[in-house]
Chain A
Amino acid sequence: MAQTAESLQPTKRKSHALPYWVEPTFTVVALGLFGLYTLWLVFFQSSGQFHNYLSPFFSPTESWGIKVLPAIWVLWSPLLFRATCYYYRKEIYRGFFHDPVSCAVPESRKYYFGETRFPFSWTNLHRWFWYVAVIVLVFLWIDAVQAFIFNGHFGIGLGSIIMLINVGLLTAYTFSCHAFRHLIGGGSQKFSCSDGRPTTRYKWWNRVSAWNEHHGTYAWISMFFVWFTDVYIRLLMNGVIHDVRFF
């Protein structure tokens, strides 16, 4: 079906609104730098441990005999979980593929098949990466607990707090996931028992739905915090800074 000849670029009438290219540019810069940092870890760093602090990029350390670069051993799973995340997909398609770069901004590319073909059709595997991400999360929680144990004694350092916040944010991100929201209850057609009371799945779905509204926020904050946590531990390892012990 034919379309009208042309349309206007959207103008911004509210003075506080940012130009349309700010968001996609931020995405490209943020994800690009994060990607480069990750590559640097993969190829040039073999560990991320400082005493009882373990960088989330290198957890778990146990590899059960499988020989790969230390960072790759675990890194693929959170990366794929994030790459197939419904929120990141929006940002990636907008920022990297300009599909579209912003609403009502014309696209230059003619060819488009959405998520119907490989590799983008594999985003449908998001739930599988979620399962793996949950397993990794268990290890990260163990690491966070370890971060409070200094030579067999309980203690609190700045690093312990950073690692706790880090795993907290990752948990929020993981359990506000769209796929989880579907699996926990969204997929059921009926939310009430025959006596009219809410089903357990409904209660969970309702809770996850509330978290899900902030999924995008958790996505960014948790990503930056993982980054920050690794940088912090790496600075400790290299003796650039010293950990602060509160207790």
Chain B
Amino acid sequence: MSEDIAYHEYDVLVIGAGGAGLRAAIEAAENGLKTAVLGKSLLGKAHTVMAEGGVAAALGNVDPQDGWETHFYDTCRSAHFINDYRMAEIHAKEAPDRVLELEYWGAVFDRTPEGKIMQRPFGAHSFRRLAHVGDRTGKEIIRTLEQKIMTLNVDVYQEITATKLFKDQERIAGCIAYYREDGRFAVFTAKAVVIATGGWGKAYKVTSNSWESTGDGAALAFRAGAELADMEMVQFHPTGMTWPPGARGILVTEGVRGEGGFLCNSEGERFMEKYDPVRKDLSSRDVVARGIYKEVKAGRGTPHGGAWLDITHKGAAFIKHKLPGMYEQLLSLADVDITKSRFEVAPTIHYTMGGLRVDPYTGATSVPGLFAAGECAAGLHGANRLGGNSLSDILVFGRRAGAGAMEYAKDTKMPKIDDTEVQAEVERVLAPLSRTEGENPYKLHEDLQEIMAAHAGIERNGQSLEEGLGRIQELRERTEHQMAKGSRQFNPGWHGVFDVQNMVLLGEAIIRGAIERKESRGAQWRTDFPDELENQGKVNYVQRLTDHGIELHPEPVPEMPEELARLFKLGMAPGLANSARKE
């Protein structure tokens, strides 16, 4: 049977319709390039909607001492210095412009009494820095980008899944994708491709991520020869819901603590004073998550294995105004009125700091013509991401990847995709539907989540990681023999086949990275190497997929020039040091 395949040609093809993807597409399209965006869901539903607390940008609207230097300082410190300082610098300098640009496009942020954009405090930020809209900032941002995209000449393909990237010699040539609606195939030939498909938190069971976070783009690019870095760095958000079972892992925004909420254990002790006497409940996420974990392990956990989070002292009116989404979410899902009673929270997988290794200025990966931005790219967040830095990340580097792709596309000819490769991929994608026996993707997904939780969770050790590696390699074998019942028409079972393959590949990379990093740093906590080690702080672990499987090697962390390094020798945040000097 010969397939009826649609063929499209674009200058810039963006895979992923979250914040980073849309921002990249806007950049390319505004400059007149023929641009398309592919998304697995409907437009505006991407995981960006889940970002609650705010977007970090040193606007200095509330704390005028704030500036890019301090934002840079906070980012690098939280990253435990294994991030790319160039990305942190670009990010800190450009984030304010990106936020103001959103305002110009129609985003409506909360206001200060002077009528400027309001900024709230957040974990490990030296100043009040997060521009926000109540507790639904991500939604505001993706809606604004969606509305902006609609004014531009961008072709948006909704509910379509890319399964393979093609190359023309060494350079990228495009991809093949199928429509979720009816399983039709489409081949996109493109001069440049931007991957903006987000993270792979769904490899874990207790996660704040939506079903989409299966790391498709990162896995596709990895298979196409791009490098992954810092894969061991997976962020636990300290405060996910613990109950009811179906809601376990759903995010409770850091904004609850930002607005004055505090944590305590079953004995009523405010335990964060013990783990971080200075920043307490607003310490960085790795520290708070580990704090809760340790309390539970020591037998001071709440009934459902977490800690209490209490914001009742702020009063009902304040809570309903500042955290309306949280109030509603806990009331409807867990029957808890957070204005009247404290509630339970526990760490939940939230973000993948690692990902595709990119050029800090253009988002270019190691494959010519292939770019990446957002959660699927590595480099900005190092060992731990600061809250609010992901929304600024997608804006700053989404735009840069779009610009990088645009520049690349301008000076190049349309590549060619080899038709035999297309046919082979079509066959591979359709195979699970014709198998009469094989593995159940839902079951494999459960197994993967079990492996990741057991061997690569918040607490890790070498022996368990090695065991996990063996188990996940077995699992990877099984993912090649999956079966999907039913037709090609909107068939979640069939769609799951490819999600699982991608997640298993990336799960293996997580475990390999974790084995190699023999220290505890940020999100990586190894009980057999409990300390942060100086020599380990100088490298990133980079992985590449070859015919013999995954190969891993260390790469030196780019060294900061003196004028930036001096910011860390002041003994305090640069903004505070500046104002101290003036006095």
Q: Which residue of B lies closest to A196 (CB)?
A: B115
Q: Which residues of B contact A192 (CB under 8 A)?
A: 115
- List B contacts of A196 (CB < 8 A): 113-115
Chain A interface size band reads under 10
Cβ of A11 to closest chain B Cβ, rounded Å: 20
Q: How far is the CA of A152 from the CA of B114 in the complex (A)?
A: 58
Complex Cα gap A156–B2 (Å): 94
Roughly how many angstroms separate A192 CA and B113 CA in the complex, as a whole number? 12
Nearest CB in chain A: distance from B335 CB, A: 16
Query: Can you list, as one digit per residue, whether each of A177-207 has a CB less than 8 Å from chain B (1) or not (0)?
Result: 0000000000000001000100000000000
Q: With the chains together, A196 CA to B115 CA distance in Å?
A: 7
Q: Which residues of chain A come closer than 8 Å to B115, judged between CB atoms?
A: 192, 196
* Nearest opposing residue in chain A for B113, CB measure: A196
Task: Give residues 102-137 of B contacting A (CB, 8 Å).
Answer: 113-115
Q: Which residue of A lies closest to B114 (CB)?
A: A196
Residues of A within 8 A of B114 (CB): 196
Looking at the assembled complex, report how far the CB atom of B446 sits from the nearest CB atom of chain A, in whole angstroms. Answer: 32
> What is the distance, in angstroms, from B106's C-beta to the closest C-beta of chain A?
15
Residues of chain A with a CB closer than 8 A to B113's CB: 196
CB distance from B115 to the nearest CB of A (A): 6
Q: Distance in Å from the Cβ of B180 to the closest Cβ of chain A? A: 19
Query: A195 → chain B, closest Cβ, in Å?
Result: 10
How many angstroms between the C-alpha atoms of A230 and B114 in the bound complex? 55
Complex CA gap A196/B113 in Å reads 8
**Distance from A199 Cβ to chain B, minimum over Cβ atoms (Å):** 14
B350 to chain A, nearest CB (A): 35
Minimum Cβ distance to chain A for residue B114 (Å):
7
Q: How far is the CA of A196 from the CA of B112 in the complex (A)?
A: 11
CB interface residues, A 94-121, toward B, < 8 Å: none
**Whole-angstrom distance from the CB of A193 to the nearest CB of chain B?**
11
Closest to A192 in B: B115
Compute how far the CA of A194 lies from the CA of B114 in the bound complex, rounded to whole angstroms.
Answer: 11
Shortest distance from the beta carbon of A49 to any chain B beta carbon, whole Å: 50
User: B207-236: contact bitstring with A at CB < 8 Å (1 yes, 0 no)?
Assistant: 000000000000000000000000000000
Report the minimum CB–CB distance from A172 to chain B (whole Å). Answer: 26
User: What's the minimum C-beta distance from B351 to chain A, rounded to whole angstroms?
Assistant: 38
Q: In whole Å, how far is A229's beta carbon from the nearest beta carbon of chain B?
A: 39
How distant is A197 from chain B, measured CB to nearest CB, in Å? 11
Least distance between A13 CB and chain B CB atoms (Å): 15
Q: Give Cα A192 to B115, complex, Å.
A: 10
The complex places the Cα of A192 from the Cα of B114 at a distance, in Å, of 11
Cα(A133)–Cα(B113), bound, Å = 40
Min CB distance A142 to B, Å, is 42
Interface residues of B in 71-103 (CB under 8 A from A): none
Least Cβ–Cβ distance between B265 and chain A, in angstroms:
38
> Nearest-CB distance from A217 to chain B (Å)?
23
Binding site for A on B (CB under 8 A): 113-115
Q: Can you sample 4 A-B contacts with CB below 8 Å?
A: A192-B115, A196-B113, A196-B114, A196-B115
Where the two chains meet, the residues of A that have a C-beta atom closer than 8 Å to any C-beta of B are: 192, 196
The 4 closest A-B pairs by CB, nearest first: A196-B115, A196-B114, A196-B113, A192-B115
